[in-house]
Amino acid sequence: MGNFRLDLCYDGTRYRGWQRLGDSDATIQGKLEQVLGRMTGQAVEVIGSGRTDAGVHALGQVANFHAATAMTAPEILAYLRAYLPEDIGVTAVTAVDERFHSRYNALEKTYCYRVFHSDGPCVFQRRYVYQMAEPLDLEAMEAGAARLLGQHDFLPFSSLKKAKKSTVRTLRAVELTQVEEELRFTLTADGFLYHMVRILVGTLLAVGQGRLAPGDIDQIFALGDRSLAGETVPAKGLCLMEVKYP
């Protein structure tokens, strides 16, 4: 029985997210399991480092699967490249220790959210950015970002109703970078809650527009109230960049 790690990128536009649904063509996991099932002649379960929502992209998603196969990792890579659709790419297939688990072993994740900050045309990146033209106070946003850093209960910055498991996470980095007309938010944490990146970015944009003050962020943590935080910005601007392992 082999255990294989998959390093993946995908354009999430056409998909209803990572997690398998009835129709295997509708999700990334479903599509991978379909192709690997055909390859091995077995039912294959693909474990992802985490789910990405409908419309969210990935440059560095990590997954793994167990299968009894005589195929080598390069052979599996070639098979996947031949049979996966062109919006799902495999950067690497690696034979790993049978104990490797892409979700349980993940130490840290990095997401990038791209805002096309202009009312000009955005023809070629339109599927991968959220476009807005309102002025933004970058200094206020930097001040807001600094208040998000560290260990907090991020429940108010998630779409979870009431959580059974801990909603405490450590946000290790929030970087804002301006690349031409684009404003990029790069967030790194030991884990992210449901919609957490999109709500954090929505909150920083509300700070940038003056609808929230940087100090309001402390208040939102203190009160634990989702309704005080910013909006959930659209999925298409979000991309999972990297998952780190020991």
- Please, what sign has the CA dihedral across residues 131, 132, 135, 139? negative
Q: Rule CB under 8 A: is residue 241 a binding residue for its own copies? A: no
Residue 96 exposed, middle or buried by CB count within 10 Å (0-12, 13-18, 19+):
middle
* CB 125 to its own copies: min, Å: 9
Measuring CA to CA, which residue among 85, 76, 96, 51 is closest to residue 243? 51
Q: Which residues are catalytic?
A: 53
- Helical (H) or strand (E) element with 3: strand 2-10
| Residue from the set 128, 154, 192, 221 that interacts with its own copies by CB under 8 A | 128
In the complex, least distance from residue 67 CB atom to its own copies, rounded to whole angstroms = 21
SS3 60: strand
225 is an interface residue for its own copies by CB under 8 A: no
The answer to whether 118 and 134 are in contact (CB under 8 A) is no
User: One symbol per residue from 41 to 70: x for binding its own copies (CB under 8 A), - otherwise; what is it?
Assistant: ----------------x-------------
> Which member of 42, 91, 166, 178 binds its own copies (CB under 8 A)?
91
Q: If binding is defined by CB under 8 A, does position 122 make contact with its own copies?
A: yes
Binding to its own copies by residue 87, rule CB under 8 A? yes
Compute the least distance from the CB of residue 10 to its own copies, in Å. Answer: 6
Determine, following the binding rule CB under 8 A, whether residue 123 of this chain makes contact with its own copies. yes
Binding to its own copies by residue 121, rule CB under 8 A? Answer: yes
HSE-up (13 A, CA, CB side) for residue 101: 4
The helix/strand/coil state of 56 is coil
Q: Which residue has the tokens 């379909």?
A: 34
Residue 206 or 240 having the CB closest to its own copies: 240
175 Cβ contact list (under 8 Å, min separation 6): 145, 184, 185, 186, 187
Place of tokens 């807001």: 144
Select from 25, 75, 119, 175 the one that contacts its own copies (CB under 8 A). 119
Spatial CB neighbours of 183, under 8 Å, sequence gap ≥ 6:
114, 115, 117, 136, 176, 177
CB of residue 57 to its own copies, shortest distance in Å: 8
Residue closer to its own copies by CB (options 79, 154) is 79
Answer for which of 32, 36, 63, 90 binds its own copies (CB under 8 A) is 90
In the bound state with its own copies, the residue whose beta carbon lies nearer, of 169 and 236, is 236
Residues between 7 and 26 with contacts to its own copies, criterion CB under 8 A: 9-11
- Closest contact distance (angstroms) between CB of 126 and its own copies is 5
Spell out the alpha helix ranges (H) of the chain.
28-40, 73-83, 138-148, 196-208, 216-223
To the nearest whole angstrom, how small is the minimum distance from the Cβ of residue 176 to its own copies? 22
Give me the residues that bind its own copies (CB under 8 A), please: 9-11, 57, 81, 86-91, 119-124, 126, 128
